[in-house]
Amino acid sequence: MIRVAFIGDIVGKPGREMLKSHLAKLKNELCIDFVIANYENASHGFGLVRKNAVELFGYGVDFMTGGNHTWDKKEIVSLFADFPLIRPLNYPDEVEGEGYKILHVKDRQIAIINVLGHYGMPMVENPFTKTQKLVQSLHVKGIKHIFIDFHAEATAEKRGLLMMLKGKVSALWGTHTHVGTDDLSVIEGTCYVSDVGLSGCRDNVIGMEENAPIKRMSTGLPASLDIPKKCKKIMQFILCDIDDEGKCLQAYKYRIFDDRQTLIQEALYE
Instruction: State phi, psi for 130 to the nearest 5 degrees.
Output: -65, -45
From CA 162, how far away is CA 168, in angstroms rounded?
Answer: 10
In the chain, the amino acid numbered 93 is D
In the chain, the amino acid numbered 266 is E
In the chain, the amino acid numbered 89 is L
* Residue 230: count of CB within 10 angstroms of its CB: 8
In the chain, the amino acid numbered 181 is T
From CA 9, how far away is CA 236, in angstroms rounded?
Answer: 9
From CA 12, how far away is CA 18, in angstroms rounded?
Answer: 10
CA quadruple 268, 192, 18, 65: dihedral, nearest 10: 170
Options 69, 151, 176, 178, the catalytic residue: 69
Active-site residue flag, 69: yes
Instruction: State phi, psi for 49 to the nearest 5 degrees.
Output: -110, 165
The sign one gets for the Cα dihedral 109, 40, 178, 232 is: positive
- 3 state SS of 74: coil
Q: List Cβ neighbours of 16 (8 Å cut-off, separation of 6 or more).
A: 10, 42, 52, 55, 56, 59
| Residues classed as catalytic | 69
